[in-house]
Structure 1
Amino acid sequence: METSELLKKVRHIEIKTRGLSRNIFAGQYHSAFKGRGMAFSEVREYQYGDDVRDIDWNVTARYNKPYVKVFEEERELTVMLLVDVSASRNFGAVGEAKREMMAEVAATIAFSAIQNNDKIGMIFFSDKIEKFIPPKKGRKHILYIIRELIDFQPESTGTNISLALEYMTNAIKKRCTTFLISDFVDGNDYKNALSIANRRHDLVAIQVYDRRETQLPDVGLIKLQDSERGCEQWVDSSSANVRNRYAAWWNSRQERMLSTLRKSRVDLATIATNDDFVVALMTLFKRRG
């Protein structure tokens, strides 16, 4: 992409997403994640209404009466964006391409984090770790992130969510809030990596998809291409049986993803490329607030 065109796109996304994060998400983001970065302070005797999950069982056993851990909210959070840059993100038939929606969602979260005085970092992943941007603060850092979101060219085409989660868990030692932004087109099992990452960090999943991916249109003989593996296949979309089987495949894959996230206790927002992502993020933030 030419420099002038890139700068124009960076400026457009900055104006749009900074305005959203300042005017809409300012309070919602803080209330949704302010209690997630907590530092252990002391223990005290259990009082009615305390969360039983905060009981310190070692101290309780020593004194033979319940004690709970007291936490203090840390002044700042570290926020990590795990952004899927596999080839399937380039698909776009209804609304904007998935990669454009992912970039806007990520940029909005980044501006929300900066306005809350949080550090923001990013990992681009395909079926390999494409790029790691360590967490920092500041407008210059944010603009660098946005530029990379728009113009980054991955080396690989596949998807490996487990690899990205494992890398993040190893790279970021301090507990952080992590947004996993992907279309979740991944044939690998990532449940174990998801569970481990969510125990160590505060993990949130955001799925971006195109509605055209959910069902085949009745347009006769069409050629379908797997953008990540490069294989092609001719399909007779005029056949109701073919369309039903495709819809069943999509629903089955979606249910597996939802089940995996539920079992790992990871919050999810699903956003179609022709949706208003503001509504989805607001709903997510309110649910966590």
Structure 2
Amino acid sequence: METSELLKKVRQIEIKTRGLSRNIFAGEYHSAFKGRGMTFSEVREYQFGDDIRSIDWNVTARFNHPYVKVFEEERELTVMLLVDVSGSRDFGTVNQTKRSLMTEIAATIAFSAIQNKDKIGVVFFSDKIEKFIPPQKGKKHILYIIRELLDFQPESSRTDVSQVLQYFTNAIKRRCTAFLISDFIDGEFERAMMIANRKHDVVALQVYDPRETELPDIGLVKLKDAETGERLWVDTSDRRLRMAYHNWWGENQISLQQVLAKCNVDSVSISTDEDYVKSLMRLFKLRS
């Protein structure tokens, strides 16, 4: 992508996603993703209704009047985006590709994070770790992330969700919140997900295209697997074939939801023809 075109797209995404995060997500994000705990703020005079367990007995004895300790939430979080950059992300048949939708979702979460003074980092993955961007704060850092989301070219086209979860678990020492953004075509990651979510707070965001849910009746077509490069002629006029594919998709969705539920991971599935804002709002409210 040419530099001028890239900068233009970065600016377009910045304007849209920063506005969304400021006007829509700010409060919901803050409520849904809380800080690590409570930290001491100040001492003030006891007021009717205060919990007597919060009385500071040393200060009370010194002034001969009851005083209580006041605590506030330690708000700052580290947020990680685990973004699938395998070949299947370039598929899209309606309004946009899965790649462009993933980019908008990631950018919106990133702006929501920095508005709440959280650090944000990224791991791009295929069937290996393609790139690691350490967590930082600031608008300059966010714009760098958006540029990479738009223009990053992976070395591999395949997917291995299990590997990125293992890498994330080992690389990030302190507990953080992670958004795993993928189409989840690779389904063998239950154990890695369970271990990662015990140490961190993992949220799964599935991005898919409606054409992936069923085959259209358009006769004989040549299909290409975006991740393996394998090509195959398929007779889509065969009703049994279309039904088998539709059932395969449904069974995979059920299996994915069962794995995420077993691992106690909150999730949402977002189609390229849907308004992702509504889906994210439902997820945030569910966690609040």
Smaller-chain TM-score bracket: 0.7 to 0.9
Q: CA RMSD in A?
A: 1.4
C-alpha distance in 2 between matches for 1:86 and 1:182: 9
1:83-142 alpha-carbon deviations (Å, 9 max, x no partner):
000000000112200000000000000000000000000000000000000000001100
C-alpha distance in 2 between matches for 1:230 and 1:73: 50
- Structure 2 residue identity aligned to 1:80: M
Aligned-pair distance for 1:38? 2.9
> Match of 2:221?
222
C-alpha distance in 2 between matches for 1:75 and 1:204: 19
1:143-199 alpha-carbon deviations (Å, 9 max, x no partner):
000000000000001000011011111111000000000000115x10000001101
Alignment of 1:237-276 (within 5 A): 237-276=236-275
Structure whose alpha-carbon radius of gyration is higher: 2
Which runs of 5 or more residues in structure 1 are unaligned?
Answer: 42-70
> Match of 2:164?
164
| SS in structure 2 of the partner of residue 251 of structure 1 | helix
C-alpha distance in 2 between matches for 1:205 and 1:183: 10
Aligned-pair distance for 1:73? 3.4
Identity %: 67
- Structure 1 residue identity aligned to 2:251: S
| SS in structure 1 of the partner of residue 121 of structure 2 | strand
| SS in structure 2 of the partner of residue 178 of structure 1 | strand
- Structure 2 residue identity aligned to 1:264: C
C-alpha distance in 2 between matches for 1:287 and 1:237: 40
| SS in structure 1 of the partner of residue 279 of structure 2 | helix
> Match of 1:13?
13
Alignment of 1:63-142 (within 5 A): 73-142=73-142
Aligned-pair distance for 1:232? 1.0
Aligned-pair distance for 1:39? 6.5
C-alpha distance in 1 between matches for 2:153 and 2:32: 32
Aligned-pair distance for 1:256? 1.2
> Match of 1:232?
231
CA contact (8 A) 2:39 2:74 kept: no
Structure 1 runs (4+) deviating above 3 angstroms are: none
Alignment of 1:21-36 (within 5 A): 21-35=21-35
| SS in structure 2 of the partner of residue 30 of structure 1 | helix
> Match of 1:65?
none
Q: When the two structures are aligned, how many residues end up with a matched partner? A: 258
C-alpha distance in 2 between matches for 1:112 and 1:2: 28
Which runs of 5 or more residues in structure 2 are unaligned?
Answer: 41-70
Q: Does 1:195 align with 2:194?
A: yes
